[in-house]
Structure 1
Amino acid sequence: MVLVDAKEATILVEQLNKDIEKFPQVHPITPDMHITHKGVSRLVMIDRYSFKDTEKKTLKTGDFVVLTIKEDPKFPARGLGYIRSIDIETKKAEILIEEEYRHVLENPQEQETGVIVRSLDVIEKPLEVFYEQIAKRNATGLAAVEKTEEDRKKWFNMFYEQLVSLKFVPAGRVLYGAGSQTDVTFFNCYVMPFVPDSREGISDHRKQVMEIMSRGGGVGTNGSTLRPRNTLARGVNGKSSGSVSWLDDIAKLTHLVEQGGSRRGAQMIMLADWHPDIVEFIISKMQNPRILRYLIENTNDELISRQAQEKLKFQPFTAQEEAMYQGIVNYKNFPGLGGFSESIIKEAEQKLRDGGTYSVHNPEFLTGANISVTLTKEFMAAVENDEEYELRFPDVANYTPEEMAIYNEKWHEVGDVREWEQLGYRVRTYRTIRARELWNLINVCATYAAEPGIFFIDNANDMTNARAYGQKVVATNPCGGVRLTLKIAG
């Protein structure tokens, strides 16, 4: 058995080139290649964009690999290393991790030696270790549409010159997909049409999101066409679970779909400021119990207070826990005697005042997506003038069968309650809210949870050239979300 030690840890070019011969998409390493990038850029290039032997047909001792070195459901850590040995029976390998990635390792011995054992399932073998290889593959793929060999060669050279000189660097999905002969998208992000307000429509939307993400694309969804919570669903003689619950179901796809074989998905989910579920939507991702308590204690709006209370989870102390904290507080007048610092005693006093511990219900809710509120000019004017603002939606509970047929056919094409009303269809005002209360809620949650973002949808539609093609802006993709913290007096 051949072992690789720290001094021998280097890419075996001759051996790798022999392996590359089995993959027609991949260009061999030549002496003039030198661009590997450094640090995070190098890891991203190898992990996200390099063509790999995913079936591990050529995996062997001495190979340079990329792998998951820390398995965490939310924040797994990737790193680079070299195969020291492979155990075929257990399907595990011993890997020497490069030094710059060892700090992530939790086992002290692993961190010191850099040697770890991992399942072959989390190990991938990159065949492209120089950027020039990726550039050649991309140039080959982009020139492949030309009809003659002469034109393909001509355009290959033109593309390659631009790519290898870094004068032009394509989007990530192009770097990954072009020339790879795989069924992935060359577009980084997509914006979906409005979601039809029906089980069938939601299912179709969900299917399209899944297909796009599985091929490497990020997705933007505006859920403002979904009826609010507790609204009549006449077809099943029941009530809707609400737009936010359906959007959470769509967001969960991000945790399930691995994008183009190399990364998790990305989603942006939006809801309009006029939607009756907007408060629930904004609070849905708040993970900080202190901020939820702050909202309950400081808002003048009953809906905001109720939604914060629904998100907040309280666990009363047992008699034993209460006695423990009281015992700590009893040492307040005897500093140093009990071995408790002033900060510990203050914390115990606070816990006794609370009477229990606070956490949040459903902490994973909507975590598969970034969320943003689409802001209208009417709402911003109401904020500026400190006015009441109406939360509205088509009056589906009172539509006739004929009106409901029109709703099912046209509402998701319109997607804006203002425009729907202008077309002559009935709209219901679910409630009014002081605009500044809603605005401050957005700011508080954005400050302490980085969610939601904001998207000035009217401004976007005023300025987009999509109008020249009879289209309008529905939402933004994950790359275009505005993550701002704003403040307003009052």
Structure 2
Amino acid sequence: MTVGTEQKMSINVEKLNKDIAAFPQVHPVTKDMKLTHKGVSRLVMLDRYTFKDTEKITLSEGDFVVLTIKEDPKFPARGLGYIKDIDWQAKSASVLIDEEYRHSLDKPEEVETGIVKRSLDVIEKPLEIFYEQIAKRNATGLASVETTEEKRNEWFEKFYQELVNLNFIPAGRVLYGAGAGTDVTYFNCYVMPFVKDSREGISEHRKQVMEIMSRGGGVGTNGSTLRPRNTLARGVNGKSSGSVSWLDDIAKLTHLVEQGGSRRGAQMIMLADWHPDIIEFIISKMQNPRILRYLIENTNDEAIKKYAQDKLKFTPLTQQEIDMYQGIINYKQIPGSGGFSEKIIKDAEIKLRTGGTYSVHNSEFLTGANISVTLTKDFMDAVENDADYELRFPDVEGYNEENMKAYNENWYKVGDVREWERQGYKVRTYRKIKAKELWNLVNICATYSAEPGIFFIDNANDMTNAKAYGQQVVATNPCGRVA
């Protein structure tokens, strides 16, 4: 039996089953199997959820593989194909790419032949090509907790029937991990507790995020417990670099940690509307120079102007560029000269009038995470009443030894400046801002860059059943925000 594709090559199921015999986790292909899915769904199933021969001990010519077709550092394109030949010494292989994925090819010879040469490091051989195989592996893994063979068989059958009939489809990490015998998580996403405001606390938080992501989980972090920029750090007699810089450090883990399977990591990072670093947080991820210039020209808040100016980068035209653009415009003055379209001439006029080009500083900042602002009822009331809103944080600079001990031990457990104040601790107001200015900033940035999202944290805590267990909502995982 072979499974055909649109290409000249096809999957040799008899050989595949012989290869599968070396992997006790994988169930062989049988004639009754039919669920392969189509298009993107098929690629996602094969790339993210199937069990693969990662060590390539069975890889050989003719094998069906999933591979990186376009090697972009941020957004590589994956696709399917067949091994034409392997150079084990050079650790590379020639692969015939399925017609469906050839649109990602950019080299002329690859486009013409459909054959690419890629490192074995970006080629993987899926051993499960039907969804039924995944369902059987999952059912085996889920039933494995039973203490008798009879019960394991009984629950295998029950789980399998629900899975194969698509009555129930587990989360991706379950599909990938259950029954695979690997140390990956069975949960897609996690929410971390508030970050403890110390070097040790940040390091421990970072360590846990890294561990979760390495096992395939996405992570949500609320950084509102980290002290604001330029706040005194008494232990080292210095100033804090601020919550936003530390959150960027945590976000970078998304780019550094290779997750279980091949899915890209996901993080959600949140900051409270009352945090003194909230303006920097929102603007730091803005990638559109035009919006930064709009903010500078239209806001009445000096802090918004400052952070927009800090993010905006201006590169003056060189003399050579000035001469080139002036030369283009000069053609406009010569009747019948042709040569340049109206669009090119208009662009040259704008460039000369502006005197340079605008871009952004730190374009990679916080790109490892989605960001959201946790919005309180107090803030929304201030917006509705066009009132001032206080940006506040525990007054760590004014605390005595006893207060500082309480801060170090308990602030990260509370995580809300309002509750901290209710408990009798001094809170410092760093500044006031018109609530509508901050609200407009959120909306403008979200409109033109889809960041930040918003999360109504008071509403979430009012409605959650976590209160019954003495818990609170700290943040959401990457799937839970409103963009």
Sort the TM-score into its range (normalised by shorter chain).
over 0.9
Secondary structure at 1:397 match in 2: helix
1:431-446 equivalences under 5 Å are: 431-446=431-446
Secondary structure at 2:125 match in 1: strand
Report which stretch shifted further, 187-196 or 399-408.
399-408
Query: Does the Cα contact within 8 Å between 1:5 and 1:96 map onto a contact in 2?
Result: no
5+ residue gaps, structure 1, are 484-490
Report the RMSD for the aligned CA atoms in angstroms. Answer: 1.3
Cα displacement (A) at 1:335: 5.7
- Residues in 2 aligned to 1:330 and 1:110: alpha-carbon distance in whole angstroms: 43
Match of 2:320 in 1: 320
1:326-475 equivalences under 5 Å are: 326-334=326-334, 336-475=336-475
Query: Does the Cα contact within 8 Å between 1:376 and 1:456 map onto a contact in 2?
Result: yes
For residue 446 of structure 1, what is the amino acid of its counterpart? A
For residue 55 of structure 1, what is the amino acid of its counterpart? E
Secondary structure at 1:441 match in 2: helix
- Residues in 2 aligned to 1:298 and 1:188: alpha-carbon distance in whole angstroms: 42
Match of 1:72 in 2: 72
Match of 2:55 in 1: 55
Cα displacement (A) at 1:402: 1.4
- Residues in 1 aligned to 2:120 and 2:377: alpha-carbon distance in whole angstroms: 54
Cα 1:316–1:196 shift into 2, 3 Å? same
Cα displacement (A) at 1:6: 7.4
- Residues in 2 aligned to 1:175 and 1:318: alpha-carbon distance in whole angstroms: 56
Query: Does the Cα contact within 8 Å between 2:51 and 2:180 map onto a contact in 1?
Result: yes
Cα displacement (A) at 1:468: 0.6
- Residues in 2 aligned to 1:209 and 1:354: alpha-carbon distance in whole angstroms: 44
Cα displacement (A) at 1:317: 1.2
- Residues in 2 aligned to 1:127 and 1:276: alpha-carbon distance in whole angstroms: 52
For residue 183 of structure 1, what is the amino acid of its counterpart? D
Cα displacement (A) at 1:370: 0.3
* Deviation string, structure 1 residues 340-399 (Cα, Å, up to 9, x no partner): 222222211111121111110010000000000000001101111111110000111111
- Residues in 1 aligned to 2:5 and 2:137: alpha-carbon distance in whole angstroms: 32
Match of 2:248 in 1: 248
Query: Does the Cα contact within 8 Å between 1:461 and 1:473 map onto a contact in 2?
Result: yes
State percent identity of aligned pairs.
79
For residue 420 of structure 1, what is the amino acid of its counterpart? W
1:110-189 equivalences under 5 Å are: 110-189=110-189
For residue 223 of structure 1, what is the amino acid of its counterpart? G
Cα displacement (A) at 1:318: 1.5
Secondary structure at 1:110 match in 2: helix
Cα displacement (A) at 1:112: 2.4
Structure-1-length-normalised TM-score: 0.96
- Residues in 2 aligned to 1:38 and 1:7: alpha-carbon distance in whole angstroms: 15
Query: Does the Cα contact within 8 Å between 1:257 and 1:264 map onto a contact in 2?
Result: no
Secondary structure at 2:390 match in 1: strand
- Residues in 1 aligned to 2:380 and 2:333: alpha-carbon distance in whole angstroms: 54
For residue 52 of structure 1, what is the amino acid of its counterpart? K
Match of 1:488 in 2: none
Secondary structure at 1:190 match in 2: strand
Secondary structure at 1:53 match in 2: coil
Secondary structure at 2:270 match in 1: strand
For residue 331 of structure 2, what is the amino acid of its counterpart? Y
Cα 1:6–1:172 shift into 2, 3 Å? closer
* Deviation string, structure 1 residues 180-204 (Cα, Å, up to 9, x no partner): 0100000000000000000000000
Cα displacement (A) at 1:328: 2.0
Query: Does the Cα contact within 8 Å between 1:140 and 1:156 map onto a contact in 2?
Result: yes
5+ residue gaps, structure 2, are none
Match of 1:92 in 2: 92
Cα displacement (A) at 1:256: 0.8
Secondary structure at 1:479 match in 2: coil
Query: Does the Cα contact within 8 Å between 1:316 and 1:357 map onto a contact in 2?
Result: yes
* Deviation string, structure 1 residues 386-421 (Cα, Å, up to 9, x no partner): 111100001111111211111000000000000000
Query: Does the Cα contact within 8 Å between 2:392 and 2:428 map onto a contact in 1?
Result: yes
Secondary structure at 1:430 match in 2: strand
- Residues in 1 aligned to 2:266 and 2:354: alpha-carbon distance in whole angstroms: 38
Query: Does residue 233 of structure 2 align to residue 260 of structure 1?
Result: no
Cα 1:216–1:335 shift into 2, 3 Å? farther
Cα displacement (A) at 1:339: 1.6
For residue 460 of structure 1, what is the amino acid of its counterpart? A
* Structure 1 outlier segments of 4+, above 4 Å: 4-7
| Length, aligned pairs only | 480
Query: Does the Cα contact within 8 Å between 2:7 and 2:98 map onto a contact in 1?
Result: no
- Residues in 2 aligned to 1:116 and 1:266: alpha-carbon distance in whole angstroms: 30
